Structure 1
Amino acid sequence: MRLCFPNSTRPKKAAKHIGGELGLALSAAQNGLARACGYRDWHEFNRSFGADTPSALDQELEHHAFVERQSDLSLALGRELGVQDGDAQYALSAARLTGDRPLLLNDQIAIRLSCWRKSVLPVVGARRRGAMGKLKTRGRNGEPVILLDFGRPTQVISHQEVTTIADFEYVAPRTSLPLFLPMRLYLPYGYWTEPDGSEVFFSRDYKPLWRLRKDGSVERLEPWLWIKVKEEKHLWDDARTPWHSASLKRSLEERLAGWGLPALPILADALPLLIHETAHRLDRSLINGITLLERARKPVPVAAA
């Protein structure tokens, strides 16, 4: 993939934003961005501006083409900068490198799922780890799930939990189902107010997702971060959950957009790690995916021999 630009305006602003978001030197961000866009380095990239027909802007693309381009770019940028592709996607989401398409949560979810399908979660056989299926069980018929283990017991991931079912309760549909991101990994359950007035949105498992400061700035938080809490408020209760209420899910998504949070938290990246986890087959839970995520983002140093 090679992206063409009419001038240096977007690339220069995007590199500055990406470097600041990821804590990188501007020169590193520029060269990584250049390589992700299909060039040898920033020097070659800089000489290309205006030389070819500009690539279509994001807002000019059909949804599928937009998602494909952004997922390719996120994977490439993560690889070139040596960062998690989820972090690269988040940095790109507000960088406006390839256009001014409105930032929407559903688009960001589609891009994240596309990244996983191209890398760590390719489509697999009907009864293999990571396959998509449906439940055939009382009160939950037709509910989509991701298969972890098939047999006795059978384990699956739903929007709300990792659950153990009988093997006959898992149905592999003839037509492949799309991968989904469990709502428990990205929708807020409530928020804490910190002593300085900042608000920290947390998941159903009371793990931090976002910090919204009083000046309106946003911080994407590591889910294992300790938060000093002055006050706690909830946005819903277990009598009416977003995975069982479409209107509540929509309301939460609208609130996130209103707060300036139409992107994905770090916690979302626990999903592929949990799917591939084999060490604790009977002790899996969505919350345990955080341990795997922390280990992946902060590898434990190997002691010298």
Structure 2
Amino acid sequence: MRIQFSDLNRPKQAAKYLTRAGAELSLAIVHEALARALGYRDWHELSITARLNNLAATEQPSIEDAVNIILDLADALVLPEADVQHAVSKARLLRATPWTINDHMLMRTSIWRQRVFGTAGRGKSGTVVRDRAYNSNTPAYLRYPGRPTYLLFDTGFGERADFEVVTPRSPLPDFVPSRIWLPYGVWKLSDGSEVPFSRDYLPLWRISNDRAERLAPWLWIKGIMEETHVADLRTTIWASGPPREKAAAYLHRHRISELPRLTDIMPHLFEPQVDSLRDGVARLYAARRNTAAPPPYAELNARVLV
């Protein structure tokens, strides 16, 4: 599939974001990989074709096509798929209007299914099963089968007896657990910025001057002046009903429609000896081999990176 452009503004912007995502990537290498992923022989052909187009193409790529482009770029540039998805989204490379957070979830779960979990099946890690305990019918990811059976629910880890877990004949839809993307509360910092945090008190975003940036979940945030929550701390119902609506409204108010870096821990939550989301963050930190110095308002979280 060839993506048509009326000019090079969006491809150039995407190339800049992708170059920043890889420490050793040159702009020339990114240009060539980007052109091929978009259906062109090289950057030169993309440049010529864009100049010949008077109007942008009215047809926008589907979510499936967008996933394929993201995967092609990730392979060509040896970058994490999540970083490529973020770069493509920030540049609005494939559509003039932003993807919704539901769009981003569809893309991310499709990538997980293709690159992490594979085909669903009975007793197979990463399969979405049904939890029948307590007369419920709750979907959850199977982490480890056995007695007990270990699950990942929308709200976090859990254990069940093996007979309480049912694998449907038809695969259930994948989902991004609220535990790794939905704000549980907000920290207000001494510099005037805000940091929404997860249920595990891990940073999601930093909002300053009405701009939002993704934060690494292994950071310990300093200078917290005030802490508020989207749910009453006396209840555990934080990912549904009014608290969820309040958290979603906060993201919408700050025009956040993408997924935070905390969602990148998802593949690590199915690895051996990962017993908490903080373990998943430590695995992600080790896998990324991040050497960047923490920003002035943060330091490395020693409670996570043990």
Q: TM-score, normalised by structure 2?
A: 0.84
RMSD, aligned CA: 2.6
**CA displacement, residues 92-133 of structure 1 (integer Å, 9 cap, x when unaligned):** 112122222343111111111111122222222122111111
> How far did residue 211 of structure 1 move?
0.5
Answer yes or no: is the 8 Å Cα contact 1:200–1:208 preserved in 2. yes
Matching of residue 200 in structure 1 with residue 195 in structure 2: yes
Match of 2:222 in 1: 228
Match of 1:303 in 2: none
Answer yes or no: is the 8 Å Cα contact 1:34–1:41 preserved in 2. yes
1: CA distance, partners of 2:176 / 2:95: 26
Match of 2:298 in 1: none
> How far did residue 37 of structure 1 move?
1.5
2: CA distance, partners of 1:249 / 1:105: 14
**CA displacement, residues 182-233 of structure 1 (integer Å, 9 cap, x when unaligned):** 10000111122222111111111011110111x2222111100121032222
2: CA distance, partners of 1:199 / 1:298: 27
- How many residues are matched? 288
2: CA distance, partners of 1:80 / 1:55: 26
Match of 1:32 in 2: 33
Q: 1:94 aligned to 90, 101, 118, which one?
A: 90
> How far did residue 9 of structure 1 move?
3.8
Q: 1:109 aligned to 105, 110, 113, which one?
A: 105
**Structure 2 unmatched ranges of 5 or more:** 292-306
2: CA distance, partners of 1:176 / 1:90: 28
Match of 1:218 in 2: 212
Match of 1:136 in 2: 132
Match of 1:286 in 2: 277
Answer yes or no: is the 8 Å Cα contact 2:5–2:57 preserved in 1. no
**CA displacement, residues 270-290 of structure 1 (integer Å, 9 cap, x when unaligned):** 112212x02x2xx52233211
Answer yes or no: is the 8 Å Cα contact 1:18–1:95 preserved in 2. no
Q: 1:176 aligned to 161, 171, 178, which one?
A: 171
Match of 2:77 in 1: 81
Q: Provide closer, same or farther for how the CA distance between residues 25 and 200 of structure 1 changes in structure 2, counting only shifts above 3 A.
A: farther
2: CA distance, partners of 1:236 / 1:22: 38
Q: TM-score, normalised by structure 1?
A: 0.84
Write out aligned runs for 1:226-265 (5 A): 226-231=220-225, 232-238=227-233, 239=235, 241-243=237-239, 245-265=240-260
1: CA distance, partners of 2:158 / 2:201: 20
Percentage of identical aligned residues: 38
Write out aligned runs for 1:13-28 (5 A): 13-19=13-19, 25-28=26-29
Match of 1:44 in 2: 45
The residue identity in structure 1 corresponding to 2:35 is A
Match of 2:11 in 1: 11
